[in-house]
Structures are given as structure tokens and as C-alpha cells.
């Protein structure tokens, strides 16, 4: 096999879209007898690392679960610290992301954010909207059930206005009303922190996503850990309801 063929084969085994539940910041800080916000700040470094790795490997889309709709129930001081960190990180990172060809987009309900944060999110989206090297999506005040309910509401309003017939609503139509409908659905979900659940994240979009659970707490999830997750993904046989025999080019599974 030539070098170019090997390169093409390696690219074929990479996910087009990676989703990440970044879990373990608070526990990482507590293990070091530090306040939980210390862990969230350390987690920002891990975010930079996975963005660099995606850009370097040519992965087209990365969606990070930064703050769920359920996270408002955390202590008020922690929520305030998270919002402040998000605001500061956006101001600091936006220009560099744009210079590296990263398009930044936010998904979730923005109604609970401050006017300052909402405006900054909007401005950064406009600043990076023409970039295409990496589509970086930040899920903030997001929930998969919220996403599905919002899609249903949009379609119901379209039917009410006479723009859409109820009979036209099918799986494809519904999917187009969801967040990130212009991107491939996630091929790989990574969850750090040792938990084995998806926690109301991209529920519709992850119907056939491969799941990788890491015991590493998010601030410790480095580029080597990401490479391990990608290697695990490359070994998966993605059948999408078909049999192994149907997927093989010659109608046979590997090894005959």
C-alpha cells in the first residue's frame, strides 16, 4: 500500500464529527483540595488541546457539552463562576480560533444569559461564520429534550401558518428542524469522568453514534487520551442496521 493510500485509509477511519461530554472538572479540583471553579479553569486547557487535535487530524466538526439545562441547579456561586469563565474565555480565544479557521457556534436556550454574554456569543458567531476548517459547536444551556421540543414547536408553527402540511413531517423533515442539522450527525461521543450515560445530550442526533467512555477527569483528558478514543473508534464496525456481510465489498466478512 502506498503512503497516499495509507493516508486515505487512516482518514476514512476518523470520525467526521466528535461530540464530547466534558465531565470531571469539579472532582478534579476536589482531589486537589481546591474549589470547583479551579477545575473548570483547568478544563479550558483540555478544550484547547482537543481543538488543536481536531484541526491537525482534519476532523470537521466538534461539539462540546459545556453547560446543560440541568446545571442551573448547581450552587449559585459555581454557576456564576462558570458564566464568568465562559465570558472571559470567549473574549480571549475568539480571535485565535478565527485565525485558525474555526467556526464557532452555540446551541441551546440563550434566554437565561446576560445581555453581555448573549451579544458576545452573537458577535463571535458572526466573526467566524465563514470559517470551515473546523465547526466548533458549544452546547450551553442545552438539553436534548429541549432541542426536540423546539423542533416540534417550529414545525407546529409552520403547519399553523400554512407553510407545511402535517403529512410532510417525517424523520428527515424533523431532523432538519434540530440544532446542527447542517452537519453530519456525531460519529463518536466521548464522555470523560468515568460515567456511562449521555445525560440528555444530542438525543436525536446520536441514534447511531459510537460511544467511548474514559475514566480520565476532563482536565486530564489530553491529546494522547483523544488519540486512544480515535483508535477505539477506528476498530468499530458501523453497520447502521445492516449485517457485516452486507457491508463487505465482496459480500464476505473479513477473513472469509
**Cα–Cα distance measured from residue 14 to residue 38, given in angstroms and rounded to the nearest whole number:** 33
- Of 172, 187, 150, 224, nearest to 20 by C-alpha is 187
So what's the pLDDT on residue 12? Answer: 66
Q: Using 50, 70 and 90 to split pLDDT, how confident is the model at 237?
A: confident
So what's the pLDDT on residue 254? Answer: 44
What kind of architecture, by CATH, is found in domain 13-143+187-235? 3-Layer(aba) Sandwich (3.40)
- Count CA within 13 A, CB hemisphere, residue 153: 6
What average pLDDT does this structure show over 65-86?
91
Of the candidates 23, 25, 141, 147, the residue annotated as catalytic is 23
- Note the pLDDT tens digit of each residue in 103-141: 999 999 999 999 999 999 999 999 999 999 999 999 999
So what's the pLDDT on residue 5? Answer: 43
Contact at 8 Å (CB) between 194 and 24? yes
Q: In Å, how far from its chain's centre is CA 122?
A: 19
So what's the pLDDT on residue 127? Answer: 94
- Note the pLDDT tens digit of each residue in 149-191: 999 999 999 999 999 999 999 999 999 999 999 999 999 999 9
So what's the pLDDT on residue 13? Answer: 87
Q: Where are the domains of the chain?
A: 13-143+187-235
Strand 17-21 relative to strand 61-68, pairing: parallel
Is residue 58 scored above 80 in pLDDT? yes
Q: Indicate the angle between helix axes 115-128 and 76-99, nearest 10 degrees.
A: 20
Of the candidates 25, 71, 131, 170, the residue annotated as catalytic is 71
Q: Using 50, 70 and 90 to split pLDDT, how confident is the model at 246?
A: low
So what's the pLDDT on residue 256? Answer: 38
Give the predicted TM-score (pTM) of the model: 0.89
Q: Is residue 71 annotated as a catalytic residue, yes or no?
A: yes
So what's the pLDDT on residue 3? Answer: 46
Q: Using 50, 70 and 90 to split pLDDT, how confident is the model at 11?
A: low
So what's the pLDDT on residue 245? Answer: 67
Q: Is residue 141 annotated as a catalytic residue, yes or no?
A: no
Alpha helices in 129-202 (DSSP H): 144-160, 171-176
**Cα–Cα distance measured from residue 41 to residue 176, given in angstroms and rounded to the nearest whole number:** 35
Q: Which residue has the higher pLDDT, 241 or 62?
A: 62
71: its cell numbers: 446545571
What average pLDDT does this structure show over 58-86?
92
Q: Using 50, 70 and 90 to split pLDDT, how confident is the model at 6?
A: very low
Amino acid at each position: 500500500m502506498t503512503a497516499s493510500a495509507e493516508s486515505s485509509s487512516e482518514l476514512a477511519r476518523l470520525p467526521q464529527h466528535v461530540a464530547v461530554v466534558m465531565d470531571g472538572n469539579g472532582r478534579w479540583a476536589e482531589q486537589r483540595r481546591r474549589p470547583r471553579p479551579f477545575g473548570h479553569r483547568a478544563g479550558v486547557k483540555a478544550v484547547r488541546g482537543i481543538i488543536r487535535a481536531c484541526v491537525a487530524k482534519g476532523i470537521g466538526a466538534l461539539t462540546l457539552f459545556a453547560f446543560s439545562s440541568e446545571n442551573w441547579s448547581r450552587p449559585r456561586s459555581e454557576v456564576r463562576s462558570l458564566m464568568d469563565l465562559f465570558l472571559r474565555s470567549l473574549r480571549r480565544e475568539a480571535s485565535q480560533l478565527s485565525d485558525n479557521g474555526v467556526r464557532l457556534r452555540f446551541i441551546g436556550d440563550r434566554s437565561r444569559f446576560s445581555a453581555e454574554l448573549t451579544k458576545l456569543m452573537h458577535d463571535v458567531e458572526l466573526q467566524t461564520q465563514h470559517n470551515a476548517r473546523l465547526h466548533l459547536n458549544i452546547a450551553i444551556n442545552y438539553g436534548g429534550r429541549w432541542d426536540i421540543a423546539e423542533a416540534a414547536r417550529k414545525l407546529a408553527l409552520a403547519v399553523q401558518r400554512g407553510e407545511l402540511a402535517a403529512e410532510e413531517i417525517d424523520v428527515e423533515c424533523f431532523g432538519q428542524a434540530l440544532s446542527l442539522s447542517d452537519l453530519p450527525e456525531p460519529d463518536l461521543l466521548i464522555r470523560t469522568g468515568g460515567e456511562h450515560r449521555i445525560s440528555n445530550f444530542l438525543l436525536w442526533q446520536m441514534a447511531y453514534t459510537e460511544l467511548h467512555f474514559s475514566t480520565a477527569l476532563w482536565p486530564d483528558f489530553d491529546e494522547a487520551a483523544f488519540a486512544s478514543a480515535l483508535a477505539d473508534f477506528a476498530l468499530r464496525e458501523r453497520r447502521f442496521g445492516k449485517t457485516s456481510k452486507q457491508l463487505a465489498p465482496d459480500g464476505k466478512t473479513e477473513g472469509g
